[in-house]
Amino acid sequence: MTIQALEAHKPVSKTRRVRNLKEYLTGWSFIAVPMTLFAVLSIGILFYAVYISRYDWGLLGARKYLGWQNFSDSLKDPVFLRAIRNSLLYAALVVPLQSAMGLTLALLVNSKIKGSNFFRATFYFPSMASSAAITTLFILLMTPDGLFNKILHYFGVNISNLFNQGQWLSDSRTALYSVIGLNAWTTSGTMMLFYLANLQGIDGSYEEVAKTDGANRWQILRYITLPLLKPAHFFVITTGMIGALQLYDQAILAGGADGSPNYSLMTMVLYIYNACFRQFKFGYGAAIGLELFVLIFSLTLAQRFLFGARAWKGDN
């Protein structure tokens, strides 16, 4: 038995107990205000959603008890199944992309390369504007005559012979991928910021030891820096996924409330919007919302176990 384990079995002294109680109280008081607000404005609404999801719930309240019908109806709607597929595909691609780009950018501007101050400022530019402003601009850039196609044309691509005739956002085969490109680009700056902040928290002594042991830069990155960033990876990937599965702004701006063309931009949250505000079926919307919640929550749990205890609990 190790000493630590022995200590854990020692009877707890009275002063220790007082100190524990003090720590409990400090802990609870530190989270009291946020938890109260969350309980009312978010968790409370989750329970409200559970309640109304069993009804045909209109603007002025319950109209009819439906049991599980809202849930079973949703799984029979091909448009909803398409929305699930789109949201999952979007998240599966955009999360690794934005995380990898953010990490790469952070490592680059954190190193001592020439002009790192300048790059640190410019790389953040796409993340600065509101999603509405940047998406509006992106739509202009991606039109058949837009800048993107002009660049392709410059490199010898014949736009009119492309399978989508250069209509990146209005062709159902490329619309979602175009939005993935947009969001990987615009969120990479934010992800860079997260990684940058966490890179400062790394104990530099590990790297120095490795360097004196003759490790090269790649080895330091691979065996020291990246593993030490585990809590940051966990944060970036978890929040990235939570956000990605709720794609809405860019989808409605590029494809309208219809999620057009051919439902390629219909996402789960856009589907909820349509149910609630274009049909006033709040019970149905709540049912979809709960399905989305369960999906995101289980994927988050899966990640917590995938990343292991250290990402979740740190070193202590």
Partner 1 sequence: MDKKYLSLTSALAALVFTVPFAVAAQADTAAPVTITVGTWGSSPAETAALNDTIATFESRNPGIAVNLQVDTGNYETDMAAKFASSTPPDAFYLNSSDSQLWQQQGVLADLTPFIAASKFSTSAFNPSYLTPYSQGGQIIGLPKDSNPLVLEGNSILMKEAGITALPTTIKQFDAQAKLLLAKKILPMCVDADINRLGAWMVAFGGGISDASNTKSLLQSKGSVAAMTWIMNNYKTGVFKTPAQISEGWAGSAFGNGKCAYTMEGAWLDPSVQGQNPKIFKAMVKGPLPTATQSGSLAFTAAWAMAKSSTHQDAAWTFIQYMESARGMTVWTSYGVAIPSRTDVGTPFGYAVNSQVAAMKTTKTTPSFPAWNNVITAFNNAAKAQIQNKKFVVATAVKEILAAGQAAWKTT
Partner 2 sequence: MEGRQLKVIFGKYILLAILVLYSFVSFIPFFWSISTSFKTESEVFFNHILPEHLNTSAYVQIATKITPTLYTLFFNSLFIAVTIVILHLILGSTAGYAFARLRFPGRDVLFYMVLATMMIPDQLRVVPVYILLVKMGLISGHPSNFLAIFLLKAVGALDIFLFRQYFLNIPKELEDSARIDGASPIQVFTKIMLPNALPIIATVSILTFQGSWNDLFWPSIILQAPNHWTLPFGILEFQGQFQTDWPPMMALVVLSTLPILLIYLFAQKFIINMQLGSAVKQ
Name which of residues 10 to 69 contact partner 2 (CB under 8 A).
20, 22-28, 30-31, 33-35, 37-38, 40-43, 45-46, 48-49
Residue 130 engages partner 2 in binding (rule: CB under 8 A): yes
Residue 58 touches which member of partner 2, partner 1, none, C-beta under 5-8 Å by kind: partner 1
* Contacts to partner 2 from residues 218-237, by CB under 8 A: 228, 231-232, 234-235
Residue 261 engages partner 1 in binding (rule: CB under 8 A): yes
Between 246 and 303, name the residue whose CB sits nearer to partner 1: 246
Residue 86 touches which member of partner 2, partner 1, none, C-beta under 5-8 Å by kind: none
* Contacts to partner 2 from residues 240-279, by CB under 8 A: 242-243, 246, 248, 269, 272-273, 276-277
Between 31 and 173, name the residue whose CB sits nearer to partner 2: 31
Q: Cβ of residue 250: shortest distance to partner 2, in angstroms?
A: 14
SS3 content of the chain, % helix, strand, coil (to 5): 75, 5, 25
In b/e form, how buried is each residue of 117-146, taking b as 16+ CB within 10 angstroms?
A: eeebeebbebbeeebeebbeebbebbeeeb
CA distances from 260 to 5, 51, 118, 168, 255 (A): 61, 32, 39, 13, 5
Distance, in Å, from the CA atom of 24 to the CA atom of 63, rounded to the nearest integer, reads 46
Q: Which of 20, 26, 116, 165 binds partner 1 (CB under 8 A)?
A: 165
Residue 146 engages partner 1 in binding (rule: CB under 8 A): yes
Q: Which of 69, 239, 260, 262 binds partner 2 (CB under 8 A)?
A: 239
Residue 298 engages partner 1 in binding (rule: CB under 8 A): no
**Residue 83: Cβ-neighbour burial (10 angstroms; 0-12, 13-18, 19+):** buried
Question: How many other β-carbons are positioned within 10 Å of the β-carbon of residue 260?
Answer: 15
Largest CA distance in the chain: 81
Distance, in Å, from the CA atom of 267 to the CA atom of 90, rounded to the nearest integer, reads 9
* Contacts to partner 1 from residues 102-141, by CB under 8 A: 139
Residue 259 and residue 83 in contact, taking contact as beta carbons nearer than 8 Å? yes
Backbone angles phi, psi at 240, to 5 degrees: -60, -45
Between 173 and 208, name the residue whose CB sits nearer to partner 2: 208
Residue 231 engages partner 1 in binding (rule: CB under 8 A): no
**115 by DSSP, 3-state: which?**
coil
Q: Cβ of residue 34: shortest distance to partner 1, in angstroms?
A: 25
Q: Which amino acid is at 33?
A: V
The count of C-alpha atoms lying within 13 angstroms of the C-alpha of 259, restricted to the half-sphere facing its C-beta, is 23
Q: Cβ of residue 6: shortest distance to partner 2, in angstroms?
A: 19
Candidates 68-76, 141-149, 159-167, 254-262: pick the segment binding partner 2 (CB under 8 A). Answer: 141-149
Between 275 and 311, name the residue whose CB sits nearer to partner 1: 275
Q: Which of 62, 93, 107, 108 binds partner 2 (CB under 8 A)?
A: 108
**229 by DSSP, 3-state: which?**
coil
Binding-site ranges for partner 1 (CB under 8 A): 58-60, 79, 139, 143-146, 164-165, 167, 169-173, 257-263, 274, 276-280
